[in-house]
Structure 1
Amino acid sequence: MPRQNVTLEHIAAAAGVSQMTVSRALASKPGVSRDKRDEILRIAAELGYVGHRAEQRSSDRRSQIVGLITAELHNPFIGELVAGVGRAARPAGYELLVYSLVEHDQPPLLSVLKLMQQVTAGIIALLPYEYRYLDALVAARVPVITVDQHGQYSRFPSIAADSYAGACMAMRHLIAQGHRRIAFITGNEHMASAQDRHRGYLDMLAQAGLPQDPALVVPGHYAKAEGYAAAQTLLALPERPTALFAANDMSALGALQAIRDAGLRIPDDVSVVGFDDIPAAEQQHPPLTTVRQPMQQMGRSAVNTLLALIAGLEAASPQIVLPTELVVRGSTAPPRRVTA
């Protein structure tokens, strides 16, 4: 069915409700439960409903504002992404409106979504953990690009770095140096990047014929404090690992501190590899070996893809995956003794 021919009647029939209920749900008016509203928005998005507001916008001059929704701003990785978005948007004549989610597992307030719908030409969603709100934006015909999520929410065009290949490079580096007991500090397993890095860790162990010891895999949640606690747990094992691979640099920085606090030396006693290459990675003593993500390039690619959608074009690719590279610094070295 052509999108311009989809009416409230079609949505109501598909949802099993009245046209009045559909109208109230699409307008975010009271009187419709959240679950039913989410279902109606999803059906409207799947049918390609345009609606009065979108038709009105198409005849007006497009807003020159790009919206960005992110889980947090204090994370250096996200800060670099946001910088990349801003540097690409402004030369194209767009300003940036940023909203940070207070609770990672909760959607933005309806008032925020309405503001985004009214004043932005499109939305870039950075690493959110709760995605249902995107249906409301799609139903309002607001173009949406996601960053990092290229699995579960593949119906949205996405930008990501090659986390799996990067994890494989990190593990090959440690294995080539002679490490056989390698621990992994996981990321936030709700996210595709964390899942890919975990998979790379396991696959490289299998490829090298090394055992997969569950005791060597500890959650880090992409955070420094959790990385510190994870490293403490690993160092307390009867046979501690000779190397740690952390799913991101922030958890790696926490691990570095835990190793120092335990009176151990880096890399003489324990080697450490991170992931991201945030500015603080090079400022450590010793500097952190890590996998570099093209963070600002990811932001620029997100803007370029979004601008194509705003112009009514198809995305060049539904999933753009940018390459990663291993940056070897002073935090890794061969183990003093190789454990079986």
Structure 2
Amino acid sequence: MVTIKDIAARLKVSASTVGRALADDPRISGAMKQKVHEVANEIGYVANRAARMMRGVSSNLVGLIVPDIRNNFYSTIAHALSKCLEQDGFQLTLSETDDDRAVELRHVRELISANVAGMILVPSAKLLPETVRLLKSMPHIQLLREQSSLGGQWFGLDDSKSLALAVEHLLQLGHRRIAYIGPSEELSTGASRLKGYRDELKAAHRWDAQLEMCGSPSDADFGRDALRRLLALPKPPTGVVLGGVQHTHSVVDECIALGIRVPDELSIVGYGDEAGFRWWGAGLTTISLPVSELATACGLWFLHQLRQRPAAMPRYRSVSSPTLLVRGTTRALTPSSPAAAPKRTRARAAAT
């Protein structure tokens, strides 16, 4: 293995000079630093991270903790963060919790033991006390979801507005029975999305608790089951708004499986704007979210905090706004359409 001593021998300088040059010590000239790095690259030197950690030096690793890497929402975030951080020499390391608090704690411990420079996380519904204590001991930012127990810094979306836009669109098209399939109030994001959904319908005097279907954001089967239950109601909805990317996938799949003619029999507003959503029929009407922009802003702010290294991380909140993309899965409700369409969809749902 190539060591610092090998570089020093090649340059005919002391090992301490090489070590300081590699650590970007201001006592070493820029010219010497350049020579050291050139020789290090030439002979294949790799820094000993374990030794650096023993000296209490932070690594160039930044931990990203998310609930579900199958969700394109989080993979997009990971990609944008990685590109942003690598410009300053930091490397992103990814951990998945599946919203399990014990797994989340284990990942936090492991990342701290690796002496990461900091963490960016999408927290679970209720953090364990030990997780809170550990996170407060180092730079961290909450992303999308927000836990008051952590305080500090948060980058997220206007979740209430996203569902309000979806409901408002269907109300303007004449729909009066509008259902929700999405995450529950247990999560901060779910609570905000439900609030946007309820506020719009209550203002129009059209809210019906029977039309709310709340479940886990990572449960692939929940959206399918929820849609069947809604269509089996004596008075099924004529429109559905979705509160999660995974739920959007499963509802679209179930509509295809049941042979539901969208939007003739049922109008649907999705959540998120993946490439595949544009290819379904005439395209999915959906809520577009500035995910890459949000992640990049979070990464830049994180780098700023690492450079400043304040004694206490200041409280900071950043909210990005969604937009509604109108495509082909919603249509105006005519006086004759509500009675006929639900009857056919109920029959299909009951047969499955």
Instruction: Write the mapping of 1:1-340 to structure 2, written as runs, cut at 5 A.
Output: 62-101=58-97, 104-108=100-104, 110=106, 113-132=109-128, 133-138=130-135, 141-150=137-146, 152-153=148-149, 155-210=151-206, 212-222=207-217, 223-311=219-307, 312-313=309-310, 318-337=316-335
Query: How far 1:289 moved relative to its partner?
Result: 1.1
User: C-alpha root-mean-square deviation of aligned residues, in Å?
Assistant: 2.6
Larger deviation: 180-189 or 311-320?
A: 311-320
Call closer, same or farther: CA 1:253–1:101 in 2, change over 3 Å: closer
3-state secondary structure, aligned to 2:87: helix
Call closer, same or farther: CA 1:279–1:117 in 2, change over 3 Å: farther
Larger deviation: 243-252 or 264-273?
A: 243-252
CA distances 1:20-39 after superposition (whole Å, capped 9, x unpaired): xxxxxxxxxxxxxxxxxxxx
CA distances 1:104-156 after superposition (whole Å, capped 9, x unpaired): 232446586144343310100124335234334345x3201111223534613
TM-score (norm 1): 0.75
TM-score (norm 2): 0.73
Q: Are 1:145 and 1:305, in contact at CA under 8 Å, matched by a contact in 2?
A: no
Larger deviation: 195-204 or 253-262?
A: 253-262
- Cα separation, 1, equivalents of 2:293 and 2:121: 16
Larger deviation: 73-82 or 315-324?
A: 315-324
CA distances 1:41-67 after superposition (whole Å, capped 9, x unpaired): xxxxxxxxxxxxxxx98x965422111
Amino acid at match of 2:287: V
- Cα separation, 1, equivalents of 2:299 and 2:169: 34
Query: How far 1:304 moved relative to its partner?
Result: 1.8
- Cα separation, 2, equivalents of 1:315 and 1:334: 50
CA distances 1:44-95 after superposition (whole Å, capped 9, x unpaired): xxxxxxxxxxxx98x9654221111122211111111111111111112211
Query: How far 1:260 moved relative to its partner?
Result: 3.2
- Cα separation, 1, equivalents of 2:107 and 2:281: 46
Amino acid at match of 1:330: G
Call closer, same or farther: CA 1:178–1:112 in 2, change over 3 Å: closer
- Cα separation, 1, equivalents of 2:160 and 2:185: 14
Query: How far 1:263 moved relative to its partner?
Result: 3.2
Call closer, same or farther: CA 1:112–1:324 in 2, change over 3 Å: closer
- Cα separation, 2, equivalents of 1:215 and 1:110: 39
- Cα separation, 2, equivalents of 1:315 and 1:302: 14
3-state secondary structure, aligned to 1:84: helix
3-state secondary structure, aligned to 1:159: strand
- Cα separation, 2, equivalents of 1:287 and 1:232: 22
Call closer, same or farther: CA 1:274–1:138 in 2, change over 3 Å: same
Call closer, same or farther: CA 1:125–1:246 in 2, change over 3 Å: same
Sequence identity, in percent?
24
Amino acid at match of 2:196: G
Q: Are 1:298 and 1:322, in contact at CA under 8 Å, matched by a contact in 2?
A: yes
Query: How far 1:274 moved relative to its partner?
Result: 1.4
Q: Are 2:152 and 2:313, in contact at CA under 8 Å, matched by a contact in 1?
A: no
Call closer, same or farther: CA 1:178–1:64 in 2, change over 3 Å: same
Amino acid at match of 2:69: L
- Cα separation, 2, equivalents of 1:110 and 1:163: 29
Gaps of 5+ in 2: 1-51, 340-352
- Cα separation, 1, equivalents of 2:107 and 2:209: 45
3-state secondary structure, aligned to 2:248: helix
CA distances 1:286-336 after superposition (whole Å, capped 9, x unpaired): 421111111112221221222222221476762111111111111111124
Matched with 2:348 is: none
Matched with 2:8 is: none
Q: Are 1:249 and 1:290, in contact at CA under 8 Å, matched by a contact in 2?
A: no
Matched with 2:10 is: none
Matched with 2:344 is: none
Q: Are 2:154 and 2:317, in contact at CA under 8 Å, matched by a contact in 1?
A: yes
